[in-house]
């Protein structure tokens, strides 16, 4: 069986935002066994899995990605929505638009130190829309 749910995330500040708790809160009727795909419907933010124990991981991640793909560079021409417009699209393509996670015993089967993250690449973001597809 396949089911879908739509989740609207509130606006978050730029950076790596832990959203596991939001996903779990919205999905209170998971099957005993299955798979879940979480897809973000935007091209200036991404979804990823990463370490959720030490908040310094988030700082290091943000510092690295912003140094790798800086805002406000003179070689970007797609700047209709601001200095962070094109850099956010490149970051999105690098990190992707979805994650797939196994479901076991009615819950997300994440590793001990894993969490689901929204990677917000814009300074002035809006709410973000997720499509969650559950395969059981």
Q: Are 43 and 92 in contact (CB under 8 A)?
A: yes
- Residue spans of the domains in the chain: they are 2-135
CA distance 101 to 90: 24
What pLDDT, on the 0 to 100 scale, is given for residue 72?
86
**Is the Cα torsion angle 100, 8, 126, 115 positive or negative in sign?**
negative
Q: State the residue for tokens 């069986």.
A: 1
As averages over each run of 10 residues, the pLDDT of the chain (136 residues) reads 97 96 94 98 97 93 95 87 92 97 98 97 94 97
* pTM, rounded to two decimals: 0.94
Which of 109, 136, 104 is CA-nearest to residue 20?
A: 109
CATH number for the domain formed by residue range(s) 2-135: 2.60.120.460
What pLDDT, on the 0 to 100 scale, is given for residue 28?
85
**Is the Cα torsion angle 98, 102, 107, 112 positive or negative in sign?**
negative
């Amino acid at each position: 069986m396949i089911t879908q749910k739509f989740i609207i995330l509130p606006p978050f500040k730029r950076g790596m935002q832990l959203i596991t708790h939001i996903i779990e809160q919205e999905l209170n009727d998971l099957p005993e066994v299955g798979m879940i795909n979480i897809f973000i419907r935007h091209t200036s933010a991404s979804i990823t899995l990463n370490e959720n124990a030490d908040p310094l991981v988030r700082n290091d991640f943000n510092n690295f990605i912003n140094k790798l793909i800086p805002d406000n560079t003179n070689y970007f021409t797609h700047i209709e929505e601001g200095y962070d417009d094109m850099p956010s699209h490149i970051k999105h393509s690098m990190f992707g638009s979805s994650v797939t996670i196994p479901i076991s015993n009615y819950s997300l089967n994440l590793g001990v130190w894993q969490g689901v993250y929204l990677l917000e690449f814009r300074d002035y973001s809006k709410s973000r829309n997720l499509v969650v597809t559950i395969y059981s």
